Amino acid sequence: MTERPRVALFVETSSEFGRLVLRGIKQYLQAHTSWSIYLQQRDLHTRLPVWLNDWRGNGIISRSTNPQFAELILESGLPIVDLTDRWGDLGLPQIWADHYAIGRMAAEHLIERQFRHFGFAGFQDESWSELRYRGFQDAIQSAGFSTAYFVSPWEMTPGKSWDDEFTSLVNWIKTLPNPVGIMAANDIRGQQILDACCEVDLAVPEQAAVIGCDNDAIRCELCDPPLTSIMPNAERIGYRAAELLDQLMNGIHKDETREVIKPLGILTRKSTDILAIDDADIAEAVRIIREQALSGLRVEDILELVPISRSTLERGVRKYLKRSPQAEIRRVQLSHACDLLVQTDLTLPEIARRCGFVHSEYFSVVFKRQIRITPGQYRTLNTSSTAY
């Protein structure tokens, strides 16, 4: 009986991206072969184990490669597929997300929302961040605009606290004209930007729309507001890494040193769910609608908070959103109702109350008029495979 190849996977289990890479590896193994796997719980900063210097395995897939480890592996001749996108070319076969395409995709998303001012917040001396910035900047420049730039170290500088870095980020946010569209190099930086916007009372998305990357779903949904994020094809990266390592362990070598995998797309959440609004009063009115529509907001309530006439409010909201203030209130309410119908087992009266309707009967009438089916039918159609 042939002994199964021994393969070490140095892929972080602490992030959504890493777990999806591992899922892609598993999918390849299920379809094609079987390995004896070494996998420890780790994050990106976990050091490689000391026993690796004397390991007698058959192959490695790594997201933790550094230049010293790359040199050691090259000397040993051990087959490896490198997924580490921090250092650039390490002379190893590499499979990366297409970071340049990710940056362009983020720029196009913000340009489509009619923003005219842009910023990018990334990390210093990180290849993946620099490539995302380059793609973002090139797309912005092609559209005739410029990009404000902020970077700080990925790992905390000794002697510098997070408070210091957050202060630097807040001060950068203060320099940006608004409305502004900002790309964060990843979802961690996106969450930090949203916190900085809150610190300076910059309304998101009305005055600053923010898009991250990696689509770490829990992190993105817990942001306030939930963070729009680009979805790299991490499963495909894992699948191709396993496929390539299998070929290398079987003596099949290819000339290309790096393969890039296109992103899947963008999951739009509330942090970019708006068109750019350069009228301060209308931007404030739209912000009030987004924040208070679920509390039974009326157009009269907006006029008490924003010093403009009803006709100015109507014209301004229609100009930017292509619908009336009342229609935007209803859109926010019904969008939340749809989420509750699919994601919870709350009763219709409770959903109506949480969406700002006093009477559930009226909620049902409005829902059917706008969505074309009843709330009950919507729930049935969209939760047929959902177990509560």
pLDDT at 1 over 60: no
pLDDT tens for each residue of 34-74: 999 988 766 666 666 666 666 788 999 999 888 888 888 88
According to DSSP, the residues that pair with 147 across neighbouring strands are: 118
The number of angstroms, rounded, from the C-alpha of 7 to the middle of its chain's C-alpha atoms is 31
DSSP string, 16-48: HHHHHHHHHHHHHHHHH---EEE-----TTPPP
DSSP string, 231-282: E--HHHHHHHHHHHHHHHHTT---S-SEEEE---EEE--GGG-S-----HHH
Burial class (CB in 10 A: 0-12, 13-18, 19+), 144: exposed
Give the right CATH number for 280-382 from 3.40.50.970, 1.10.10.60, 2.40.160.50, 3.40.720.10: 1.10.10.60
pLDDT of residue 232: 96
pLDDT of residue 278: 79
pLDDT at 169 over 50: yes
Give mean pLDDT, residues 312-335. 93
Instruction: Report which of residues 82 and 47 the model is more confident about.
Output: 82
Residue extents of the structural domains in the chain: 6-96+234-262, 99-232+267-272, 280-382
Which amino acid, residue 237? I
Do the domains at 99-232+267-272 and 280-382 have one common CATH topology? no
pLDDT tens for each residue of 271-299: 998 877 878 899 889 989 988 999 999 99
Q: In terms of Cα–Cα distance, which of 193, 168, 205 is closest to 283?
A: 205
Strands 228-231 and 265-267: antiparallel
pLDDT at 366 over 90: yes
Q: Which two tokens stand for residue 321?
A: 């959103």
Give mean pLDDT, residues 76-90. 90
Fold of 99-232+267-272: Rossmann fold (3.40.50)
% of the chain with per-residue pLDDT over 90: 71
% of the chain with per-residue pLDDT over 70: 93
User: 387: pLDDT confidence band, cut at 50, 70 and 90?
Assistant: very low
Instruction: Report which of residues 88 and 1 the model is more confident about.
Output: 88
Q: In terms of Cα–Cα distance, which of 27, 10, 30 is closest to 18?
A: 10
> Rounded to 5 degrees, what angle do the CA atoms 217, 230, 222 make?
30
Q: For residues 294 and 9, give the distance between their C-alpha atoms in angstroms, rounded to a whole number.
A: 47
- Residue in the block written with tokens 């191709």: 240
Q: In terms of Cα–Cα distance, which of 320, 261, 27, 281 is closest to 128?
A: 261
User: Using the 8-state DSSP alphabet, how is residue 53 labeled?
Assistant: G
pLDDT tens for each residue of 187-211: 999 999 999 999 999 989 988 999 9
Terminal Cα-to-Cα distance of the chain (whole angstroms): 46
pLDDT of residue 50: 63
Give mean pLDDT, residues 321-325. 91
The b/e string for 30-58 (b: 16+ C-beta within 10 A; e otherwise) is eeeeebebeeeebebeeebeeebeeeebb
Give mean pLDDT, residues 159-180. 89
Looking at the structure, give the CATH architecture of the domain made up of residues 6-96+234-262.
3-Layer(aba) Sandwich (3.40)
**Distances in whole angstroms, Cα of residue 372 to Cα of each of 368, 376, 380:** 5, 12, 14
Contact 325, 317 (CB under 8 A): yes
The model's pTM is 0.78
- Residue in the block written with tokens 């090139």: 138
Stated as kind and residue range, the H or E segment containing 180 is strand 180-184
What three-state secondary structure class fits 12? Answer: coil
What three-state secondary structure class fits 352? Answer: helix
Q: Which two tokens stand for residue 39?
A: 């996998």
User: Using the 8-state DSSP alphabet, how is residue 213 labeled?
Assistant: E
User: 354: pLDDT confidence band, cut at 50, 70 and 90?
Assistant: very high
